[in-house]
Amino acid sequence: MSYLALYRKYRSTSFDEVYGQKPIVKTLENALKENKIAHAYLFSGPRGTGKTSIARLLAKALNCEEGMGNICNHCSNCKEISEGTSPDVIEIDAASNSGVEEIRNLIERVKYAPTKSRYKVYIIDEVHMLTTNAFNALLKTLEEPPSNVVFILCTTELYKVLPTIVSRCQRYEFKKLSDEELTSLLTDVLKKENISFEEDAIDEIVELANGGARDALSILDQLISFSSSSNSLHAKDIESLFGLTTKKEKITLLELIKNKDYQNLVSSFNNLISKNVDLTRLINDLLTMLKDALIASKIRNDKEDLYTSLINKYFNEEEITNMINVLLDLIKELKITNNPSLLIELYLIKLIDTNTSIKEEKIKKDEPIKEKVIVKEVVKEVPVIKEVVKEDKNPTPTSIINTISKLDPIFTEDKKDVFTQDNGLAKDGTSYVLSQDDLIKLTVLSNKEAKRELMSRWKLLIPFKKDPSLEPYITLLLEGVPYLLTDTILVLSYNLSSRAKLINIKANQKKLQECLYKIVGKNINIYALDRIQSTNLVSLYRNLDEVKRLPRARDLNINDIKFE
């Protein structure tokens, strides 16, 4: 018998064997018990999380000879479904059957009753690969199929599925498996295979799998073949096979950064390159270690591991935060560089230089200052401060003014009316609301180049937090990310819906405009979406684009979008 891959060998044979996805399993089991069977299901989520496996389990539970909801794996129906030979459970790969003709053939076959089962089940995998015409051909049948037909659609890219298809299905969103669930899965498989293992090896596989059960088992399969001894699993084998660095090597790099040892830092990095390590993963690993150390320094967990405690011993919180920011910039640069090793080497040196400059600034601040100097500075500064207050209650630093392009104002209101004093951030009140049509128009009209320019200036808002009257508004703006930008409206995206709602309250708008004026030089209406709204907008935009229903920019007028 030919070798069977682990992810196929240990595919779930009953709902009890499913790892993760417990809410989905529970919902399906309850529906089966109460005989509340939907005519169409849509399973969406990351690859390797069990969509097709649970689709087959549902097909078994619908057709098991021992009764509805059972999965005996012994009756002819269960065996045929497991082997993929059941005449009543048809699996279709939409990637290779994406045309309208294939769907028309499917619709013709739907009319016929099941051969030997209760239900005829159609499992359409990677359904997002169907063409628009194929989707449209499927619509009517999907909405009102025969009573003994069930459709199960599976996709990894839900945003490509037409909204008209999604609305006709019961939708189940699969999630990535947690580290604990993957660890449990791998441990069970290794015990069944009688293979000993190191816990560090399991941790490495879990990290590489990134929440995918199939990926985890595929990596394990490859590792067992690579290992010098097929009866044991070692972390060093994973590091050698996948070009990973050990924690000790990563800690050594951080220690050399702490000691400002340029020569050995470059030498150690070149040694890693000679071992063909995955450089992108190296940077992500360093970022993860620093993140864990920063969290541990704030939580003060007694159970923190040796490496986390070492990082906190080497660096203080400010230095760790600074290093995280530098590495985040490096990750952005890696996406567009043709020479990643050179770029990483430069950024490792930058980590030393940046931390050194921080320490020098602290030393300067801590130096004792003579009393005479203080008196002279106070005498010199007082008249200047008085003069500024007379001219402008909210002065913009000259350094910031020089970095900002002057844009023509777009509102006709007098600046005095726009920039009125406010007693504080309003927590409730009447809000602005933009319709989906208006948001689609804004997406079409959005100026990507202007948005990039605004994002590069975004941190210039920080100095204005010193003004108590502006601080809550600046803080609120900094929590958002510029999402869409036209001549009249800026749309921000927020992780939390509660923060987005504060932006949209009319009472806050004038003060927010005043803050934004500091870095763009003109008055712009500000609107906010939360993460779910942003995701839905992207999905709607792509669906409209696919069916050629997007409005053309030349046919739109920004003044038609009423911000009221």
CA–CA distances in Å: residue 26 to residues 22, 49, 155, 170: 6, 16, 21, 15
Integer Cα distance of 78 and 42 in angstroms = 22
Amino acid 228: pLDDT: 57
| Residue 396: pLDDT over 60 | no
- Name the more confident of 384 and 535: 535
Amino acid 25: pLDDT: 93
| Residue 160: pLDDT over 80 | yes
CA distance between the termini of the chain: 71
Report the CATH architecture of 179-242: Orthogonal Bundle (1.10)
Single-letter amino acid code for the residue at 233: L
Integer Cα distance of 84 and 95 in angstroms = 18
pLDDT digit string (tens) for 471-510? 889 889 988 889 899 888 999 998 888 889 999 999 999 8
pLDDT digit string (tens) for 415-443? 333 343 445 788 888 888 888 888 988 88
Classify 42 as helix, strand or coil.
strand
- Name the more confident of 3 and 108: 108
The closest alpha carbon to 422, from 502, 358, 361, belongs to 502
Helices 531-546 and 436-445 pack at an angle, to 10 degrees, of 70
| Residue 84: pLDDT over 60 | yes
Amino acid 227: pLDDT: 74
Contact 404, 521 (CB under 8 A): yes
| Residue 303: pLDDT over 50 | yes
Residue 296, φ and ψ in degrees, nearest 5? -65, -35
Integer Cα distance of 507 and 413 in angstroms = 16
Contact 468, 501 (CB under 8 A): no
- Domain residue extents for the chain: 6-173, 179-242, 247-364, 371-400, 404-560
- Name the more confident of 417 and 194: 194
pLDDT digit string (tens) for 85-110? 899 999 998 888 888 888 888 888 88
* Range from 128-137, 227-236, 514-523, 529-538 carrying the lowest mean pLDDT: 227-236
Q: What is the CATH number of domain 6-173?
A: 3.40.50.300
With respect to CATH, is domain 404-560 assigned 3.30.300.180?
A: yes
| Residue 414: pLDDT over 70 | no
| Residue 341: pLDDT over 80 | yes
**Prediction pTM value:** 0.57
Integer Cα distance of 176 and 46 in angstroms = 7
Integer Cα distance of 472 and 474 in angstroms = 6
Same fold across 6-173 and 247-364? no
With respect to CATH, is domain 247-364 assigned 1.20.1440.230?
A: no
Q: What is the DSSP string of 482-495?
A: EEEE-SSEEEEEES
Q: What is the DSSP string of 152-210?
A: EEEES-GGGS-HHHHTTSEEEE--PPPHHHHHHHHHHHHHHTT-EE-HHHHHHHHHHHT
| Residue 400: pLDDT over 70 | no
